[in-house]
Every structure is written in C-alpha cells, then in structure tokens.
Amino acid sequence: MRPSVIIPIALSLGVDLASAHGYLNYVDYKGVAYGLWQPFSDPYLSPLPLRYDRTILDNGPVVGMTGPNITCNNGGNNPLNVGSITVAAGDSLKLVWDQWNSAHSGPVMTYMAKCTPNCASFKGDTGSPWFKIDQFAYDPTKTPPWGSDYLHAQGAWWKVTIPSSLAAGEYLLRHEILGLHVAQDVNGAQFYPSCVHLKVTGGGSDSPTGVALPGAYDPYDADGILVQLWQINAGQKIYTAPGGPVWTKAAAALQTAVTATSQSYVPTSFAPSVRGAATTTTTSAPPTTTKSTTTTAVLPTTKTSSTSSSRTTTTSSTSSRTTTTSSRTTTTSTGGGTAVGAYGQCGGIGWTGGTSCVSGYKCVYLNDYYSQCQAA
Ligand SMILES: *[C@@H]1O[C@H](CO)[C@@H](O)[C@H](O)[C@H]1NC(C)=O
Ligand SMILES: [Cu+2]
C-alpha cells in the first residue's frame, strides 16, 4: 500500500507498516553487486547514477494490475539510461531486496522477455513476451511455505538461473513478489515487480514467449489473485499463481532447502555506478554522491524585471539548494541499533531503524527523509 495511505489503516487494523515494504536492491552476478534504483535517494543525486533496472517510484506495490504499471512497476517503465548486466546463459543470479519484512504471504515469480529490438526501446507492455523462469508459490513441505515468507527467512534474496538454451541477446528480467494478505478484496493483491536489463551471452536457439503484462493478471482470478490466504493455509484450497506455468525448459529452482536458513547478503565488489563510464571493469567504488566545491550558501536573487534575470534567479536558487545538501553530506552517525549494511537507510524523518553503518560505511544525509550508508 502507498505509505501515505497505509499508515492510518495499519494503526487501526494492525496491517503492515509502510517501512516494511521493499524493493530490489542489487543483482549479484559472480560476486559483483550491480546496484539497482534507490527510490528514496537516487532521484536527488546529480548527475543521476547508473542503475541496472528501470526506475521505481517507491517501495509500495503497483496500483492497478490491469494497467501499464504492472509491467515494470510505478516508475514510468522508462527504458533509457539503464545499465545492462552481461550474463552467460545457464548462470545464476542472486536477486537481493533491500529488505522484506512485510507479513505479505504470496508467491515469488521471475519472468524474462526478449527485448525487441533492444532494451533501450522495449517496454514489454504489448504482445505476450513474458515467460516465467522461476516460481515459488505455496509449498506446504517447505518452512515457511509461502515464497515471499521464504525469501524473508533466508535474508531477503532469491536465486534464479538464466535458462541455458535461451538465445543470446538482450532481455528484461522481471522479478516480483505478490502479497496476498488483503487479496480477499478485489484489487487487494499487491504486486512488487522490478525489471532488470540483461545481456545474455552463449545459450542456444530458444526464443520463448509467454504472457502479456498487462493482461495476464485478472483481478477476479479466484485461483491466484482474488483469494483468501487462510483457506489456502488451512489446506481448504489449492493455490495456483497467476501468470501461467514456468517455462518447461527453465532451470531447476534453486530455493531447495526444506527450511530456509538466514544468510544475509553483504556486497563486496560493485559494478560501475556512473553513467557514461567504462562498463567493462568492475570497481569497488560505491554509487556516486553529489559533490560541491562551494561551501558558502548562496542566497537566491530576487530580480524579476526581465526574462533573463528571472532565469538567473532560478540558477541561483538551484545552486543554493545544492550547496545546502552537500554541506550536510558528511554527517557520521554514531547512533545505536544494529549496524546498517551498504546503501541501506540509516536516518530520515520517521526512520526508526538503525542509524550506524557497518564498518567502512558512513551515514550520509541525502534528504530530510533519507540518509544512506555509503562508503566512508
Ligand atoms: C501508475 O503509477 C503512477 C505512480 O504511482 C500513478 O500516478 C499512475 O496513476 C499509475 N497509472 C495507472 C494507469 O494506474
Ligand atoms: Cu503492504
């Protein structure tokens, strides 16, 4: 639910709090962490950083499963300026969420779609390009039995394999949690998708298609969307996740442990996070932060007598804001609580979590609502 909407409801009904929602944070491929869009801090960075997925608006679910936002979340499904992760067909990826502490039982599903002609122009919102490569819906032989709860229990990550027979080329990888906690209401099901850009190498000659998004998710689907969790949990109803079956040539699922074991993810090596920089080598540099050479606040001028002075006013005002931000970016928090991991939230209005960062990181002010652990 939207943070602004959920708070009063959460207080009265004891439903989840907005802070418990999440988004996909990294893709780890062979030990390199590819940073994904940080909805609470990246929009405030200048220049914008290089991320490997499409922009998302916040950590809330998609509103309207039959509309365009279901394809790649509420961020506009913008295919431009997105980094691409080069992966070999048959290899595995670890998909790491910033957190998943919501009591939002439901399936975890991962789809792919071939980008036609390439991912810089492909939106995936027409035709039926989406084929499932992985799914964990409800499996009562597992502890916990729901995919999203299992994801939480193992430390907010998920592993998938790129099918080995897939034709080489550019693809979107669409990873998604579906929260069913209020799915008994029409449009109560909560979808949390992310679209990552991949360049698949090797592989075979398969070019599968699958389902349409929007299209495949029906608000009245009584098997997978308009359902009562308790009936499924009580064994009174068989659950079938929406979006069709997993492609027959997909690799075996990797979440095989009967009982999920918590193993938190700590990135050590980072992919480039600067747009336009060389993308062939990895670096230990963290995502960019805005730096300013000016340390004295510049007051905006107020001349309004002509068009050109009005433009000057705008410029001064902008630089004043930049200066203010940068003068506050060196704050090092020494607050209590568990140390926050790399690029996790460590402060901001309303933040009640940890305020100190793991070794090697410091808590950096990004805006009034968000401070982030960045490399010291
Ligand atoms: C898509 O998401 C945006 C941001 O939440 C919202 O403003 C817009 O109304 C949504 N579009 C539709 C068609 O629901
Ligand atoms: Cu929610």
**Predicted confidence (pLDDT) per residue in 23-66, tens digit:** 999 999 999 999 999 999 999 999 999 999 999 999 999 978 99
The C-alpha atoms of residue 178 and residue 225 are separated, in whole angstroms, by 9
Q: Whose CA is nearest to atom 4 of ligand 1?
A: 74
How many whole angstroms from 172 Cα to the centroid of ligand 2? 25
How many angstroms separate the Cα of 43 from the Cα of each of 39, 189, 207, 370?
7, 28, 35, 11
DSSP 246-301: BPTTSPPPS---SB---------EE---BTTS--SS-BS--S-----S--S--PPP
The C-alpha atoms of residue 68 and residue 76 are separated, in whole angstroms, by 9
Average pLDDT over residues 248-267: 97
Compute the radius of gyration of the chain from its Cα atoms. 22
**Position 375 pLDDT exceeds 80:** no
How many whole angstroms from 108 Cα to the centroid of ligand 2? 15
How many whole angstroms from 22 Cα to the centroid of ligand 1? 18
Q: Whose CA is nearest to atom 13 of ligand 1?
A: 67
Where does the pLDDT of residue 353 fall: very low under 50, low under 70, confident under 90, or very high at 90 and above? confident
Q: Whose CA is nearest to atom 6 of ligand 1?
A: 74
Tokens of 277: 């920089």
Residue 277 burial (CB count, 10 A): 14
Ligand 1 interacting residues, C-beta cut-off 6 A:
57, 63-64, 67-69, 74
How many whole angstroms from 3 Cα to the centroid of ligand 2? 9
User: Which of 82-86, 296-300, 331-335 shows the lowest per-residue confidence on average (mean pLDDT)?
Assistant: 296-300
- Residue of 324 and 360 predicted with greater confidence: 360
Tokens of 151: 């994801």
Give the residue, out of 69, 192, 213, with the most ligand 1 atoms within 8 A of its beta carbon, to mutate for a pocket test. 69
Average pLDDT over residues 235-261: 98
Residue 41 burial (CB count, 10 A): 22
Please tell me the predicted confidence (pLDDT) of residue 319.
30
Tell me the backbone φ, ψ of residue 6, rounded to 5 degrees. -75, -30
User: Which of 135-149, 214-228, 329-343 shows the lowest per-residue confidence on average (mean pLDDT)?
Assistant: 329-343
Please tell me the predicted confidence (pLDDT) of residue 367.
61
Tokens of 252: 């075996």
**Ligand 1 atom nearest 68 alpha carbon:** 13
pLDDT tens digits, one per residue of 286-314:
443 333 322 222 222 223 333 333 322 23
From the CA of 181, the nearest ligand is 2
Give the residue, out of 5, 59, 74, with the most ligand 1 atoms within 8 A of its beta carbon, to mutate for a pocket test. 74
Please tell me the predicted confidence (pLDDT) of residue 136.
98
Please tell me the predicted confidence (pLDDT) of residue 302.
29
Tokens of 243: 């979006």
Place of tokens 């799914």: 135
Q: Whose CA is nearest to atom 5 of ligand 1?
A: 74
Please tell me the predicted confidence (pLDDT) of residue 41.
96
How many whole angstroms from 2 Cα to the centroid of ligand 1? 12
How many whole angstroms from 162 Cα to the centroid of ligand 2? 30
Please tell me the predicted confidence (pLDDT) of residue 298.
27
pTM, entire model: 0.74
How many whole angstroms from 58 Cα to the centroid of ligand 2? 12
How many whole angstroms from 324 Cα to the centroid of ligand 2? 34
**Ligand 1 atom nearest 58 alpha carbon:** 5
DSSP 313-371: HHHHHHHHHHHHHHTTTT------SSPB-TT-EEE-TT--S--SB-TTEEEEEEETTEE
Tell me the backbone φ, ψ of residue 232, rounded to 5 degrees. -70, -45
Average pLDDT over residues 142-151: 98
How many whole angstroms from 152 Cα to the centroid of ligand 2? 15
Please tell me the predicted confidence (pLDDT) of residue 102.
84
Average pLDDT over residues 164-185: 97
**Ligand 1 atom nearest 67 alpha carbon:** 13
Where does the pLDDT of residue 186 fall: very low under 50, low under 70, confident under 90, or very high at 90 and above? very high
Give the residue, out of 2, 54, 63, with the most ligand 1 atoms within 8 A of its beta carbon, to mutate for a pocket test. 63
**Ligand 1 atom nearest 69 alpha carbon:** 1
